[in-house]
Amino acid sequence: MFGFTAKVLAAAVVAATVTAPVAKAEFINIATGGTSGVYYPLGVALSELYSQDIKGARVQVQATKASVENLNLLGAKKAELAFSIGDSVKYAWDGNKEAGFPKPLTDLRALASIYSNYIQIVAEKESGIKTIYDLKGKTLSVGAPASGTELNAREIFKAAGMTYNDLGKVEYLPYAESAELIKNNQLQATLQSSGLGVAFIKDLASTHDITIVAIPKEVVEKIGAPYVPAVIPAGTYQGQTEDIPTAAISNMLVTRAGVSDETAYQMTKLLFENLPKLQAAHSAAKAISVEHATDGLSIPLHPGAEKYYREVGVLK
């Protein structure tokens, strides 16, 4: 009798093992930017945290052309987390076709406002370029076409009463390629939008005499929100002896409505509980603060992120 019972129990266990649903692996694709920028190393750091601490997660990092491409990847359900500059998020939500969004991406959800991007115009010293107005007749790279950086360039030029037609030549190139052209005397300046201390400018400053170009406060104030006047502190880059006025705009981590509340909660929690790891990946992360994580958001928070912010007292 006991042998029969044991056999029945054993068969039941086998049947349960065979018929029990297998837990679906959580796939998290993190859309970042070019490998020489700030988004990519921060994305790699997050991927390591998520792989280690989100049970069953399969995480990958995708190098992209940054903000606009990233938000469209979220809209197409080809990414679960993306870095983006704040104005691109607003354009995506509104469906601004000129900015690269054929239709409104209303499934976007905010995870966090992180560090600010600074509009950093770098010129070879011999060009004599000191302010944005000195770019007239010069050669300038403005980032990949319709990228977040290039949209920033359009806004800055418009506020300064200028257009690309005022330039000698416009190149649409990412950070690293722009730096190489400046080194080879094939380009006089580049406008890029990134955190302070970005690697490509540091590298360029270590081998080449450069000028960090001023964007006057009144130009930035003319644009208005989400742009704010800011300063690139003296000593940020080799040879920079003065504070340089410029514009800043907040970066965001964005997810989508289809990502589960628990995953969004874990992604948010792990971000803020491991800031030293992100700071080790890039100095721009030193500006990330949970106290300011919900500042200036132009789209709804993901409920999972909202749960975390209520837990830590950022939201009441």
Same domain, 177 and 89: no
Among 249, 266, 293, give the residue marking a domain's end: 249
> What's the CA gap between 41 and 15, in Å, rounded?
46
CB 230 within 8 A of CB 195: no
Domain ends where: 249, 275, 291? 249
Range of the domain at 198: 117-249
Distance between CA 172 and CA 183 in Å, rounded? 17
Write the CATH number for 73: 3.40.190.10
Whether the pTM exceeds 0.75: the reply is no
Tens digits of pLDDT across the chain (316 residues): 444 444 434 444 334 333 333 346 689 999 999 998 889 999 999 999 999 999 999 999 999 999 999 999 999 999 999 999 888 998 999 999 988 999 999 999 999 999 888 999 999 999 999 999 999 999 999 988 878 788 889 999 999 999 999 999 999 998 889 999 999 999 999 999 887 888 889 999 999 999 999 999 999 999 887 788 999 999 999 999 999 999 999 899 999 999 999 999 999 999 999 999 999 999 889 999 999 999 878 899 999 999 999 999 999 9
Q: Are residue 133 and residue 33 in the same domain, yes or no?
A: no
Residue 68 in contact with residue 251, Cβ under 8 Å? no
- Count of the separate structural domains present in the chain: 2
Q: Which residues pair with 230 in a beta bridge?
A: 246
Q: Does 7 reside within a domain?
A: no
User: Backbone phi, then psi, for 264, in 5-degree steps?
Assistant: -65, -40
Q: Are residues 46 and 170 in the same domain?
A: no
In a domain, 224, yes or no: yes
